[in-house]
Amino acid sequence: RGQRLDRVDTQLTVEPTIIAGAIATAGAAAWWVSGSEEREKKAKYSEWEARERENQLERESLAYIEPKEQWTEEKLKPYNGDDETGPILLAVKGDVFNVWKGRNFYGKGAEYNIMAGRDATRFLAKNRLEEETEEERCKELNIAERASVEAWYWTIKNKYEIVGKLAGYDPKTTEM
């Protein structure tokens, strides 16, 4: 009890650069942790993209058809979209296209399936999705219908691969 404790004052001096470094390190650590969710999403998206590329290549190989110099309307019929993975062919203005990439338009049960596996020129010219009567089929296309099929032709040509020519097509029936 008789001892006296002397109090010693100590002072810790820290360089300002050390304090700044510690704050920067803490900030970087917080930034890194907060971005981990974003990095995880990017990694998952990259994996999904790779799988999607593989699936696309597989679909493309299943829908591939060897181009031919000429196709008859009879030879187009089997490619009417009934096969859920195979090629879908249609002819427009004498060119035959593989429209498999538009399976959602031309495949079985789709809105434009009536055009698959055949010459779709008159459907596109008339903007119709019903069969023509024999009398209608005998009539020449008017200028508006020829313009319509021309516009459709270029739309289809810019989207799908040409795999040949349609035998017996007369270009005079659609020329402007």
68 φ, ψ to 5°? Answer: -125, 155
Count Cβ neighbours within 10 Å for each residue of 4-13 and write b for 16 or more, e otherwise.
eeeeeeeeee
User: pLDDT tens digits, residue range 113-142?
Assistant: 999 999 999 999 999 999 999 999 999 999
User: pLDDT tens digits, residue range 61-95?
Assistant: 999 999 999 999 999 999 999 999 999 999 999 99
Question: Over the chain, what is the mean pLDDT?
Answer: 91
Give the model's pLDDT for residue 169.
Answer: 96
Q: What span, in angstroms and rounded, lies between the C-alpha atoms of 40 and 103?
A: 34
Give the model's pLDDT for residue 2.
Answer: 61
DSSP, collapsed to helix, strand or coil, labels residue 118 as strand
Residue with tokens 């490619």: 79
Give the model's pLDDT for residue 54.
Answer: 93
Give the model's pLDDT for residue 8.
Answer: 65
User: pLDDT tens digits, residue range 8-18?
Assistant: 666 666 677 87
DSSP, collapsed to helix, strand or coil, labels residue 95 as strand
Q: What span, in angstroms and rounded, lies between the C-alpha atoms of 149 and 124?
A: 5
Q: Which two tokens stand for residue 67?
A: 């181009």
Q: What is the mean pLDDT of residues 35-55?
A: 87
Give the model's pLDDT for residue 35.
Answer: 72
